[in-house]
Amino acid sequence: MATYSIRKDGRGDFTTIGAFVQAAERGDEGRIDDSEVYNESVTITKSDIRIFAGPGQQPTWMWYGTCAILASGVTGFRLEGASPDLPMIIAPRSGYYGVYGSGANGAITLRYLRCTQGWSLLSLAGTQPGPQTVQHCTADGCVVLLDGDQYQDLQCANCRVTGQSQSLFAINTLGGIIERCYVTGVRIGGPSASQMSYVGNPIIRNIHFRNTLGGTLAALEIWSDVVTVSECTLIRSDKTELGLVATIPAWALSRPVFYNCAVKGFGTAYYSTYSGASAVTSHCDAWDFGTAGWGGQAVQQPTDRIIDPKFLDETTGQIGADSPLVDSGTATTGTPDDIRGAVRPSGAGYDRGCWELGLFVMRARYDREQGIRVDFSGPVKQVSALAEDDALNPANWDIQRSDGLRLPYLLGIETISSESVRLRLAGPGATIFDGLGIAASTNIASADGQSHVEPGGTEAQCVGAVEPPRSADAVTRVIGIRDVRADPQTGQYVTTDAGDYALASSEETVRALVYRALSTVAGEWAHLPQYGGLGRGLYAPARTADLQRLVSVGRSAILGIPGVQEAHVEASVSGQGALLVRATVRVANLGTIVVGYEREV
């Protein structure tokens, strides 16, 4: 397996995507290291080929037909942009596809892509083994994001339908989950023209739909009772057409298919075609309909309501504390989060619709102002200078590496906006530190004056309560509250409640500082290049100058650690493309310790 550079200016290994694919062996990767337009169609004939954009790049792949064609039996194809903020542009011709699989093309991964024209980003023909993974992709001009016959174990998350695009999917799927997607257009989706055959209980959840293009199709049509649709918000303004439809064979229905949904502004909110249906909905709400809340053979159940959902923002599905959707849903589905990735439930029960009320850490990422930007799910405010429920109180924050070690380098907190703060860090290279975890107080005050306490309500039970979404940039996991600081007089590490560090002479502390020195070269080094952080990532094959600088700066930083007497640093890249770094350090009163790591680059 090798990684090759693709650049149109000739400074890489190949100047076209097709040239890389033709030369590639199974398992090879092609990294596009510019933001140019690649006008070509490529047929993939080998399995496990990955094509991806390099850090900070936004290339365009277009063609007068289909861009990437997967030969029958080819598996493991991956196509990825640089990040959610820098998606690769995919532009096939009208009526064609970004990626087309002709059969048996299991394990396809598409991530960070925006399809701006053509029929769909992905189309699969025939029965396909799975899984198909589609994450952070957008239909922004093509007709539908996903199209085709029989998918299997589809994992579609954090996708969008915008512009003149019409729907999220027109597919059959055997199992899988479609979740956390925003759709503006004609419909969420429905089955393709071929026979529907659901197996393995596919799940559709946390979808926000707002009709912006009219049309006469149902927002979401399900052709089997083994599908679970839950926590979805559907909004239309003209009080016409159908919302959620269960087109169910007479032999199929055994349970509800729609849970915890909120539908507003349709002709009929919920509809079923099967007269034997005992229940199609459970804990679902309808409002502002033209004809009926429940129509056809669908009957309103005791847990269903006709009630105003009181959306704060219909474009997102956001609700406030006065919404009847709050805490009124059922836990039957066990959905772990909402459309943003915020934890469900946050209060006494599940909220209906795609939005869970509560104040959470939504995203944490490096910024260019010597710190980490933290975005919340709603407005925050300062309660008092030292309040334990104050997001602006430094004592309510802790920063931890993914390996569990902590470093006391939080200088203070700045307000960026009503929903964002910056954790300002101390020390050289503090802006680019690998594997940061962030924790906040269990009780952060909101601008409306209400306190939103996460499950448990105590610091000891905080773990997981403010867990960021899967798409969070720098955050790898959440920890409990700890106030770990350095004594300004002695420079020794102290704690208030957990004994995380002893004095600075402890081996654990020295190892933590050595690891930090090896992981950071201020302004030039970033071990999270996929997140577009500061500096640049180390390209493979590695340049000698990069390795030399890592050794030089890392050794200098290690020698600045109190008690360190000697340090020897080595850095290389293995034949498999992994960065190997190792430091042998002699420390007063501790002797010789060795710290190292291996990381893909």
User: Residue 307 CA to chain centroid, in angstroms?
Assistant: 32
Buried b or exposed e, range 128-167, using 16+ CB within 10 angstroms: bbbbbbbbbbbbbbbbbbbbbbbbbbbbbbbbbbebebbb
Contact 315, 237 (CB under 8 A): no
Report residues of the chain scoring pLDDT below 70: 191-201, 225, 248-254, 275-278, 359-371, 380-412, 425-509, 512, 515-516, 519-543, 575-579, 597-601
The pLDDT assigned to 530 comes to 28
User: Residue 27 CA to chain centroid, in angstroms?
Assistant: 25
The pLDDT assigned to 447 comes to 44
Per-residue tokens: 64: 């007068």
The pLDDT assigned to 61 comes to 98
Task: Give the E-state strand segments of 166-282 in sequence order.
Answer: 167-185, 189-190, 203-211, 220-222, 228-230, 233-246, 258-259, 262-272, 281-282
Contact 429, 521 (CB under 8 A): yes
Report the alpha-carbon distance of residue 140 to residue 458 in Å, rounded.
44
The pLDDT assigned to 450 comes to 40
The helix/strand/coil state of 510 is helix
The helix/strand/coil state of 22 is helix
**What's the whole-model pTM score?**
0.70
pLDDT digits (tens, 9 = 90+) for 492-512: 333 332 222 333 345 666 776
The pLDDT assigned to 461 comes to 24
Quickly tell me which residue has 């198909």 as its tokens.
Answer: 132
Entry field: residues in the chain:
601
The pLDDT assigned to 519 comes to 60
pLDDT digits (tens, 9 = 90+) for 3-50: 999 999 999 999 999 999 999 999 999 999 999 999 999 999 999 999
In this structure, what DSSP letter does residue 87 have?
Answer: P
Non-local CB neighbours of 179 within 8 Å, separated by 6+ positions:
156, 157, 203, 204, 205, 206, 207
Please report how many Cα atoms fall inside a 13 Å half-sphere around the Cα of residue 244, on the Cβ side.
Answer: 35
Report the alpha-carbon distance of residue 391 to residue 480 in Å, rounded.
15
In this structure, what DSSP letter does residue 507 have?
Answer: H
What is the CB neighbour count within 10 angstroms for residue 223?
Answer: 19
How close are the terminal C-alpha atoms of the chain, in Å? 13
Closest to 439 in 3D by CA, of 415, 410, 414: 410
The pLDDT assigned to 588 comes to 79
CATH of domain 507-600: 3.10.450.40
In angstroms, the Cα distances linking 149 to 89, 123, 129 are 25, 8, 12
Per-residue tokens: 363: 């995203």
Report the alpha-carbon distance of residue 327 to residue 98 in Å, rounded.
41
- Helix axes of 507-519 and 544-559: crossing angle, nearest 10 degrees: 150
The pLDDT assigned to 465 comes to 26
Quickly tell me which residue has 């403010």 as its tokens.
Answer: 466
